[in-house]
Structure 1
């Protein structure tokens, strides 16, 4: 029975075809077994550089290009193009096996040959060449073949290499780009994600190479699987792994492990594949968790696409941490009354008034959450000895006694009312898990880990037995958008020696990434394990337009300009569902929706719409977390709105907390800007935010 693979990049192309063509492609390849068995419809182009390329008729206008093995029955669909374009594409290209990685490669040999003479002429006149300091032996060891080696040797500028991305074999281009970026051959090899071999791979075994390239080829068995792929082309395109990601997702660890990386480096995709891999081992139930319901829903949708059997699907649970803690709590205590934010502030105010202590309700609430609960303090003596790192306001013994009395009164009021906060439910759920010999999960995968509070981490630690592959943690502290800070070591989660860092951004253009990173320049950001994180080495291999910055006089002008910008994107062919608008407040996001409605542009709130709705979406910067769009407008980046005054502790009250709040607000804008894949538009009215001070394009 023939096996059919679908090239990952064709999934993106398929999503852009007209529906009638999509239906015809699905119909033809659903009957592919009969076509190949009978030898019908597969035609060999007359002038093809690679004798294994075939074309197949879709209709009178469209043809598919298929890679067919010289022996065996493994076929790969590479392209669907208009008739003449399909033949031209097939005639120019050649498939090969990378002898270092064993993966399938496709190259445009005509383009390489045509470009080489002019590059050689320029190289003869240049004082240096791009890879003068790299030996041929190192390049060959990294999978560079003779044609690409000859090409690399005449390069004099990285710009030439970037232009060659469209026709060089992808794996080999990645190697050259990494070396050009200053990586050592050993560092480049690590990013290839393959184990070293004594013998090179068989350069002629195309079928085996396809099997070894899951990050590029989707293998399907039968028409049902094929139809499922065609129903979700864009989603599947986004969940396939780069080799470096694949290595992390499928590794075996003798304890907890962590993957870090900047925005767009694929941490969430790695987390999804990690959960799928662990569930496939059959060792026990796997929990996939994060900090909000919106993100957990997104993770669940991704896992539905990945799960290839009912057994794997049934082995994975997806729920956010508060949902998990409430479930464990409710099993023992039943339903709980949750204290609302306003009610909590009212209690703190009454405690302050009753005790006549010199603290604000904000200070006491933060001290309770980030010292008392975070360090499991249960007594006055314990509070006197507690570390208060990150709490800028120093407290003497008398003041600590006053704070502890206020905390005791607050907690006593919760007990008297029989009400709970999300944190206290989590603490109680952790206690209950500690009493159990059996743990509910064998493995836990955590996404967006940087935003979890210490009490939530203790819950997760208590929910899985310590052992191999117990906790897998994905996060980036540069994208922390809430107050929580933690040292994993101090709560019993050890990841030393089992951490991987992803550095290649697959979503955002180099121009958008570099500009957005500038917003965090000079910030000292912790790594959740007692050290500092870094953005050194983060890079994007995709280039595009620089961000567009625009200041307007008043808010109405800014909203009118936003509507005009969105109209420009739509007129340029951008799908409405690929446009996102981020604002610091719900009020401004609603104003943006109203401005778009006045301009006749269909738009909905991020809270009420999804990818499938096909409309422009607007929401808060917090709501943008975990999403991506072709084009993003970040609006209202205005003095007094960004940073939001209500989110920043006054410096005179606590200078350290003030600095942390400002850093968090910077990270929030950074997150919003890096949701953009291709175009970023940033606007303000009146005076620009201080975060934009000194920025240039």
Structure 2
């Protein structure tokens, strides 16, 4: 039985229609089962540049290009490069080669040109970029990389870049020109160019892509060298082993060989496969693949030990459903645990996780007593805290300053101070430290707040309801008390995505789920995307990650132009991560190019509604699927208005709330709801000074917390802008939002 490796970045398969793709699957399945079958017509090419090259019959009109590897003492392996029409395949195969890059130890598959007089090109094709033209714009300035101190020797002799590609990069006038070249290069070479454009040192790039000295084991035969090189992290960006027929079918029928389920950047793969002696934090901007790493890592931990109890959780149930769906796409055989503590991977929003733990407990008397000061029934319905706080904190009725008598302030105080510290009496509350809270409270103000806390708790008991933060606090305490009594932990490994939006009781639960040790807690987060609640410092929650934190910077989702706009929203603001360190956007870059975002000022709201409808109609006429188009608004009332306006203008649009997205309709949703999603084309509507930041929301924020609230508003616009893969349009009427800057 032959092994099959597929070149995952070849463009050839994407050009084939569905019927041919099915034949490719049949061909490769037969090849994997019996490569000697006469019907396959596996044939060498006379006079080929590489004696390993073969072609095989897919049907009478199409042939596959393959490389056959016969290592000493090993099984035959075929590397599938793509499928072309019969004559074209033979011409290409004659000039094609498979080799190991002697500088860095990666595999390079080189597909020939039909015109033998032209230079050959790699699967990661070297384009006729426009950089050479741009380099002549200002002859008084040196090319960008030259000015940055890089040389051809750095690129070719130390990184192993193709000399033709390196020459073009060294001639590029600026980092934008380098980006244009890199956007058309698949695999590690394109990514390395982006690193160079950011000024990343050669040694740092070599480390990132796992390039080492002595990259090739010269004691091996050539075929064995290639097989060994196929295991290199950078090679695995471009080549993937196919383990079984089901995986083969998914890859072939999917048609997208660069799909995330088969693709990991070498840096991402490091964080998937490495064992950490304690909690580890992976940060990175929107679209850098943090979620992809978390999903792959969960699967890796499960594959290593199918009996392991793994929890994969995130901020809410909508995001959790996406995690589970992607996990099943990655590996349909993965075991999804029904309950936390069962073998397999339990996937749920963190609030549901807390409820499941509480519901499984036989006795919560001790836990509720520790949290509330008395036993409480935790089985009643869940409540929305805002509504309760609004009812009990009537202006002037509590004796508390009006600026503090708001649901937002009181809920944050209750969660971050009262529940986080298990405060049950006034005496405890007046003495407790309020680290991280922007507003100082006098003793009289603390007494007034505590009266409202007691009223909140009485109301909840009378109404037979508990809030999710309360359930989280009880579940965390239940687990902690159990461990003190010698009971086992619930999980062996915990992975959490979108961690920047979790509050104190979330972290208390996460800390109590798993014992400290190897691969205990994996945290994926981006502090620039925090759009809820108060910032948390993990050290105060007993979670130590000092020295075990890394950052991803390469964006795979959106274009460089859209990313530049989104990052510009953050410009001038100070963000801090979960370790209280400064969070920077330095080095964020994208591997894709596209049009500049369309910033359009409208004369009136009616004019804006017309322009948005016109834009959406144009995209639909260009062939965009309706469900890949999204209109994002700051609030729900605006969302409703745009749904109605689009409908009146003949566009089938639907509001997207808790329900999953449906096909056939343009999606209209709030910026908050767009978290964790992506669309091909996005309109950010109503980005004016009244809506972004939301002046209505800002009026209720105490002066001491306004700076933090404005950061959340910046983050919200950043999240919304970074949902767009290809095109971004920003509209407003009246004065534009101050967050848009002057760009």
Q: Which residue of the partner structure matches residue 503 of structure 2?
A: 453
Q: Which residue of the partner structure matches residue 617 of structure 2?
A: 567
Structure 1 residues 100 and 445, CA gap change in structure 2 (3 angstroms): farther
In the alignment, the residues of structure 1 paired with residue 736 and residue 169 of structure 2 have an alpha-carbon distance, to the nearest angstrom, of 48
In the alignment, the residues of structure 2 paired with residue 187 and residue 502 of structure 1 have an alpha-carbon distance, to the nearest angstrom, of 14
678, 699, 706: which one aligns with 1:658: 706
Structure 1 residues 142 and 599, CA gap change in structure 2 (3 angstroms): farther
676, 679, 694: which one aligns with 2:724: 676
What is the Cα-based RMSD across aligned positions, in Å? 3.5
What is the Cα deviation at residue 485 of structure 1? Answer: 1.8
In the alignment, the residues of structure 1 paired with residue 35 and residue 251 of structure 2 have an alpha-carbon distance, to the nearest angstrom, of 20
Q: Which residue of the partner structure matches residue 28 of structure 1?
A: 27
Alignment of 1:424-439 (within 5 A): 424-436=470-482, 437-439=487-489
In the alignment, the residues of structure 2 paired with residue 570 and residue 456 of structure 1 have an alpha-carbon distance, to the nearest angstrom, of 42
Alignment of 1:81-230 (within 5 A): 81=84, 86=89, 90=93, 94-107=97-110, 109-110=119-120, 128=142, 131-132=145-146, 133-134=149-150, 138-139=154-155, 142-144=158-160, 147=163, 151=167, 155-158=171-174, 161-165=178-182, 170-192=187-209, 194=210, 196-201=212-217, 205-212=225-232, 213-230=235-252
Q: Which residue of the partner structure matches residue 287 of structure 1?
A: 311
Do the aligned residues in 2 keep the contact of 1:236 with 1:305 (CA within 8 Å)? no
In the alignment, the residues of structure 1 paired with residue 53 and residue 70 of structure 2 have an alpha-carbon distance, to the nearest angstrom, of 10
In the alignment, the residues of structure 1 paired with residue 400 and residue 171 of structure 2 have an alpha-carbon distance, to the nearest angstrom, of 74
Structure 1 residues 287 and 551, CA gap change in structure 2 (3 angstroms): same
1:480 paired to 2:530:
yes
Do the aligned residues in 2 keep the contact of 1:104 with 1:206 (CA within 8 Å)? yes
In the alignment, the residues of structure 1 paired with residue 662 and residue 245 of structure 2 have an alpha-carbon distance, to the nearest angstrom, of 24
In the alignment, the residues of structure 1 paired with residue 712 and residue 617 of structure 2 have an alpha-carbon distance, to the nearest angstrom, of 32
In the alignment, the residues of structure 2 paired with residue 127 and residue 50 of structure 1 have an alpha-carbon distance, to the nearest angstrom, of 43
1:319 paired to 2:348:
yes
SS at match of 1:214: helix
79-88 or 656-665, larger mean C-alpha shift: 79-88
SS at match of 1:625: coil
396, 399, 405: which one aligns with 2:445: 399
Deviation string, structure 1 residues 170-190 (Cα, Å, up to 9, x no partner) = 323433442342111222123
Do the aligned residues in 2 keep the contact of 1:215 with 1:241 (CA within 8 Å)? yes
In the alignment, the residues of structure 1 paired with residue 178 and residue 463 of structure 2 have an alpha-carbon distance, to the nearest angstrom, of 67
What is the Cα deviation at residue 635 of structure 1? Answer: 1.4
In the alignment, the residues of structure 2 paired with residue 141 and residue 272 of structure 1 have an alpha-carbon distance, to the nearest angstrom, of 36
In the alignment, the residues of structure 2 paired with residue 525 and residue 144 of structure 1 have an alpha-carbon distance, to the nearest angstrom, of 37
SS at match of 1:298: helix
Do the aligned residues in 1 keep the contact of 2:639 with 2:669 (CA within 8 Å)? yes
What is the Cα deviation at residue 46 of structure 1? Answer: 7.0
Q: Which residue of the partner structure matches residue 74 of structure 1?
A: 77
In the alignment, the residues of structure 2 paired with residue 84 and residue 14 of structure 1 have an alpha-carbon distance, to the nearest angstrom, of 17
Do the aligned residues in 2 keep the contact of 1:215 with 1:246 (CA within 8 Å)? no
345, 349, 361: which one aligns with 2:393: 349
1:336 paired to 2:391:
no
In the alignment, the residues of structure 2 paired with residue 678 and residue 533 of structure 1 have an alpha-carbon distance, to the nearest angstrom, of 26
1:530 paired to 2:529:
no
620-629 or 212-221, larger mean C-alpha shift: 212-221
Structure 1 residues 629 and 448, CA gap change in structure 2 (3 angstroms): same
1:543 paired to 2:593:
yes
What is the Cα deviation at residue 404 of structure 1? Answer: 2.3
In the alignment, the residues of structure 2 paired with residue 59 and residue 601 of structure 1 have an alpha-carbon distance, to the nearest angstrom, of 44
What is the Cα deviation at residue 37 of structure 1? Answer: 1.8
Q: Which residue of the partner structure matches residue 284 of structure 2?
A: 261
Structure 1 residues 536 and 224, CA gap change in structure 2 (3 angstroms): closer
Structure 1 residues 486 and 34, CA gap change in structure 2 (3 angstroms): closer
TM-score by length of 1: 0.88
What is the Cα deviation at residue 329 of structure 1? Answer: 1.5
Q: Which residue of the partner structure matches residue 7 of structure 2?
A: 7
Q: Which structure 1 residue ranges, 5 or more long, are not aligned? A: none
Do the aligned residues in 1 keep the contact of 2:661 with 2:667 (CA within 8 Å)? no
Deviation string, structure 1 residues 289-325 (Cα, Å, up to 9, x no partner) = 0011110001001111223645688511101110011
450, 465, 472: which one aligns with 1:419: 465
What is the Cα deviation at residue 276 of structure 1? Answer: 1.3
Structure 1 residues 222 and 261, CA gap change in structure 2 (3 angstroms): closer
In the alignment, the residues of structure 1 paired with residue 738 and residue 50 of structure 2 have an alpha-carbon distance, to the nearest angstrom, of 57
94-103 or 608-617, larger mean C-alpha shift: 608-617
What is the Cα deviation at residue 107 of structure 1? Answer: 4.8
Do the aligned residues in 2 keep the contact of 1:649 with 1:657 (CA within 8 Å)? no
In the alignment, the residues of structure 1 paired with residue 511 and residue 283 of structure 2 have an alpha-carbon distance, to the nearest angstrom, of 19
Deviation string, structure 1 residues 122-172 (Cα, Å, up to 9, x no partner) = 89x887455553467654664416745873686353556445447767323
TM-score by length of 2: 0.83
Structure 1 residues 146 and 590, CA gap change in structure 2 (3 angstroms): closer
SS at match of 1:495: coil
Deviation string, structure 1 residues 363-415 (Cα, Å, up to 9, x no partner) = 33332233323444343344334444554443222222222233233224434
What is the Cα deviation at residue 615 of structure 1? Answer: 4.3
SS at match of 2:533: coil
In the alignment, the residues of structure 1 paired with residue 145 and residue 528 of structure 2 have an alpha-carbon distance, to the nearest angstrom, of 33
In the alignment, the residues of structure 2 paired with residue 50 and residue 147 of structure 1 have an alpha-carbon distance, to the nearest angstrom, of 20
Equivalences, count: 689
Q: Which residue of the partner structure matches residue 298 of structure 1?
A: 322
Q: Which residue of the partner structure matches residue 513 of structure 1?
A: 563
Structure 1 residues 398 and 150, CA gap change in structure 2 (3 angstroms): closer
Deviation string, structure 1 residues 452-478 (Cα, Å, up to 9, x no partner) = 111010001001111111100000010
Structure 1 residues 352 and 608, CA gap change in structure 2 (3 angstroms): closer
SS at match of 1:493: coil
Structure 1 residues 560 and 142, CA gap change in structure 2 (3 angstroms): same
Do the aligned residues in 2 keep the contact of 1:650 with 1:658 (CA within 8 Å)? no
Do the aligned residues in 1 keep the contact of 2:152 with 2:167 (CA within 8 Å)? no
In the alignment, the residues of structure 2 paired with residue 458 and residue 483 of structure 1 have an alpha-carbon distance, to the nearest angstrom, of 16
73-82 or 144-153, larger mean C-alpha shift: 144-153
What is the Cα deviation at residue 5 of structure 1? Answer: 2.5
What is the Cα deviation at residue 352 of structure 1? Answer: 6.2
1:695 paired to 2:742:
yes
What is the Cα deviation at residue 598 of structure 1? Answer: 4.6
Structure 1 residues 92 and 609, CA gap change in structure 2 (3 angstroms): farther
Do the aligned residues in 2 keep the contact of 1:52 with 1:70 (CA within 8 Å)? no
Do the aligned residues in 2 keep the contact of 1:450 with 1:484 (CA within 8 Å)? no
Do the aligned residues in 2 keep the contact of 1:99 with 1:143 (CA within 8 Å)? no
